[in-house]
A and B are shown apart, each in its own frame.
Chain A
Amino acid sequence: MIEILPQYLFNGVLVGANYALIALGLTVIFGLMNIANFAHGQFYMMGGFMAYVLTASLGIGYFPAIVIAVLVVAAAGVVLDRLIFFRLRAKPLISSVLVTIGLSILLENLALLLWGPKPEAIPSPFSKMPVVLGPIFASEARLFALGVTFATIAAVHVALRYTRWGKAVRATFQQPEAAALSGIDVDRLYAACFGIGAGLAALGGALLGSIFFVHPTMGGIATLKAFIVVILGGMGSFPGAIAGGLLLGISESLGTLVSSAYKDAIGFILVILILLYRPDGLFRRA
C-alpha cells in the first residue's frame, strides 16, 4: 500500500494540474463575467481534436500542432464571446445556463458529425518507454504535460499579478463600472479573457489527449469537473482554482485505491462537504 502511494500521488497531480488548467478559464468566465459556461468542456474537447486533426490528418509536427490548436480554439472563444456570450452578461443565471447548454449540445454533435464517435490518440513523438523516478513510473508524455501545465499556470499567475493587463483584469474583477470609468475597455477585456479561458481549456485537452484519448463526448464530464474545481476553490479565486484542481485530482487518484467504481463520485461528495462547512470555498474571492 505505502509503496504504491507516490505513484498514485503523481497520477493525481498530473490529472489535478490538468483540472486546474481547465478551471482557470472557467474561473474567469464564471467568476468575473458571471456566466455559468456549461460549454467550457467543449473547448477542452475542441483543443484535443484540433491537435489530433493537425497531427494525424494534416501531418503537422506535434509541438506546433499544440500551439496552433490552442490559438484556433482561443480565436473561436473570442468569436463566440462577440456572437453569444456578450449578450449573456446582464442576464439571469438561468439564461446563461440554458444558452451554454445549447452551445455544448451544438459543439459536441458537430464534433460527432465531423469525427465520428471513435476515441483517437494524438500521435506524439514521445517514447513509450517508462521513465523511472525512484518509486514513480512516468512517461515522457506525462512529464511533458505536467511541465507545460505548471509553466502555463505560473505564466498566467505572473501575467495577472505583474502586468498592466493583469492589473486591468483584477480591477475589472473587483468593480467593472469603476474599471470602465478609469479607461479600461471592459468589452475588449472580457473578449480577451474569454479567448484565454478557451485557450487554456484547449491546451488541457491537447495535452491530456496525447496521454489518453480524445473523443467528441469528453467535454461534458470536463465541464462538471471544472465547475467542481471552481466551487471548491472559491468562486473567482485564481489560487483557489489551482488548489481546487490539485485537490480534486489527488483525491480521485487516491480514491481509486478505495473504490475505482466511485472515483468520479469523490469530487461531487467533496463539493457538497466543502459547501457545508466552508460555503465560500477553500479560498475566498481574490
Chain B
Amino acid sequence: MIGRRGAFALVALLLAAAPLVLGEGYYLHLMIMFAIFAIAAASLDLIVGVAGLLSLGHAAFFGLGAYTSALLFLHAGLPMFGGMLAGALVAAIAAALLGALILKVRGHRFVITTVAFAEIMRLVAYNWVDLTRGQMGLPGVLAPRIPVPGLGVIDFNTKTAFYYLALVVAGVCVFALRRIADGPAGRGFAALRENEPLAESVGISTYHHAIAAFTIGAFFAGISGSLYAHYISFVGPDLFYFSYTTLFLVMVVIGGKGTIWGPVMGAFAFTLLPELLRVADEFRLVFFGGLLIVAVLFFPRGLTAGIDHLSRRFGRAPDATVERRADA
C-alpha cells in the first residue's frame, strides 16, 4: 500500500513530467488552464465549502485580478509577480468592502448580491472604454522574463516554461489555502458553517469570520486571474461572466466541497471534461448540463467522497483530515 505521502509524491512526479509526455501542444495548454483554475476553485472552496457562504460572484475577483494585473503591466510596465500581488490585493479589498456591507445578512440575499456584484463589474469593464477598451479588451499582457543566476534570463513565453511557473504558483496557493482551512481561522470558518448561534456563543464573531473567509478567497482568486491574464495575454469583459463562476462552483462541488484538494481534482476533471465530451460534438454543453444535474442529485459529496470510499475498501484507515462534513 502506498501511503498518503507516497501518493502525493507520485502525483507531483506525474505533474512535473507532464510536458515530457504531452509536448508543447494543446494538452499542455489544458494542463496550464488546470493549474490556473485549480487556484480559483480552491479559493472558492474556502468561501463556499469551508465557511459555508454560497458566493456566486467569484468571477468578479478572478476578473479583478486579471484586469489589475493587465492594466499595471500595460501602463506601468509592472511584471507579472508585482501585478499578481496587486491583483490579489485589489480583489481582496473589493471583497472586504463588499463583505462588510452585505455579510451581516447571510443566506439568500448574500447569494443574489454576489451575482449582482459580478454583473456590475462586467458592466464596468464593458462600458469604461477609456480604461478597459470595452469589449475590445486589453491585448499584449506578456508572460514574465525572470533572470535566474547561472541560467540567464528565463522567458516564460513557452508553454512548457509557463506550465512549471503555473504549477509552482498553484502548488503554493493550494497549500496555503489548505493550511488556512486547517488552522485556527479555518476552524472558525467551519464553526460559522456548522452552527452560527453556537459559534457566537463561544465567542467567535461570525460576521468577522465571514468577511475574512470572503476576503482570503478573493485574494487567491485574484492571483488566479492575474496568472490567467499573463498566460492568455488578453483580458476582456467576458472574464466576469456568470459562466466562470458556474465553472468554479462546479469544480468545487463535483470535487468535494470543504476539502480544498477536492476542488483541485474537480478543476482537473472539468478542464479535461470538455475534451472528453468532444465525441458528443455539438451536444457537448447539453451533456455538460445533464451531467451536472445527475452529479449533484446523486453524488452530492463529490469525487473526494468516492476516493475515500475506495481507499477504505482497500483496507486503509480513513484519513481523519479528509473527513469533513461536506453537506453544509
Assess whether A98 is in contact with B109, with CB atoms less than 8 Å apart: no
Residues 229-254 of A, flagged 1 when their CB comes within 8 A of B and 0 if not, give: 00100010000000000000000000
Considering the chains assembled together, what is the distance between the CA atoms of A271 and B111 in angstroms? Answer: 12
Assess whether A105 is in contact with B111, with CB atoms less than 8 Å apart: no
Is residue A262 contacting chain B, with contact meaning CB distance below 8 A? Answer: yes
Count: A-B pairs, CB below 8 Å: 118
Q: Determine how close the nearest CB of chain B comes to the CB of A207; give it in whole angstroms.
A: 25
Q: Determine how close the nearest CB of chain B comes to the CB of A87; give it in whole angstroms.
A: 6
Is residue A265 contacting chain B, with contact meaning CB distance below 8 A? Answer: yes
- Stretch of A1-9, A168-176, A220-228 contacting B (4+ beta carbons < 8 Å): A220-228
Q: Identify which of residues 88-115 in chain A touch chain B, using a CB-to-CB cut-off of 8 Å.
A: 88, 91-95, 97-99, 101-110, 113
Q: Determine how close the nearest CB of chain A comes to the CB of B196; give it in whole angstroms.
A: 15
Considering the chains assembled together, what is the distance between the CA atoms of A107 and B288 in angstroms? Answer: 11
Assess whether A102 is in contact with B290, with CB atoms less than 8 Å apart: yes
Considering the chains assembled together, what is the distance between the CA atoms of A88 and B300 in angstroms? Answer: 12
Assess whether A106 is in contact with B108, with CB atoms less than 8 Å apart: no
Is residue A269 contacting chain B, with contact meaning CB distance below 8 A? Answer: yes
Interface size range of chain B in the complex? 35 or more
A261 and chain B: residue at smallest CB distance: B127
Assess whether B292 is in contact with A272, with CB atoms less than 8 Å apart: no
Considering the chains assembled together, what is the distance between the CA atoms of A99 and B109 in angstroms? Answer: 19
Main secondary structure of the interface of A (DSSP, over half): helix
Contacts of B113 in A (CB 8 A): 271-272, 275
Assess whether A36 is in contact with B116, with CB atoms less than 8 Å apart: no
Interface centre among A99, A105, A231, by most chain B C-beta atoms within 10 angstroms, is: A105
Is residue A133 contacting chain B, with contact meaning CB distance below 8 A? Answer: no
Q: Identify which of residues 250-269 in chain A touch chain B, using a CB-to-CB cut-off of 8 Å.
A: 261-262, 264-265, 267-269
Is residue B308 contacting chain A, with contact meaning CB distance below 8 A? Answer: no
Is residue B66 contacting chain A, with contact meaning CB distance below 8 A? Answer: no
Q: A99-B292, A105-B288 are in contact. List 20 more A-B contacts (CB 8 A).
A: A87-B297, A91-B300, A93-B107, A93-B108, A94-B48, A95-B297, A98-B250, A99-B293, A101-B246, A103-B289, A105-B285, A113-B283, A220-B242, A224-B119, A227-B115, A235-B108, A264-B119, A265-B120, A271-B113, A275-B113
Instruction: List the interface of chain B (C-beta within 8 A of A).
Output: 48, 54, 56, 101-102, 105, 107-109, 111-113, 115-117, 119-120, 123-124, 126-127, 242, 246, 249-250, 253, 257, 282-283, 285-286, 288-293, 296-297, 300, 327-328
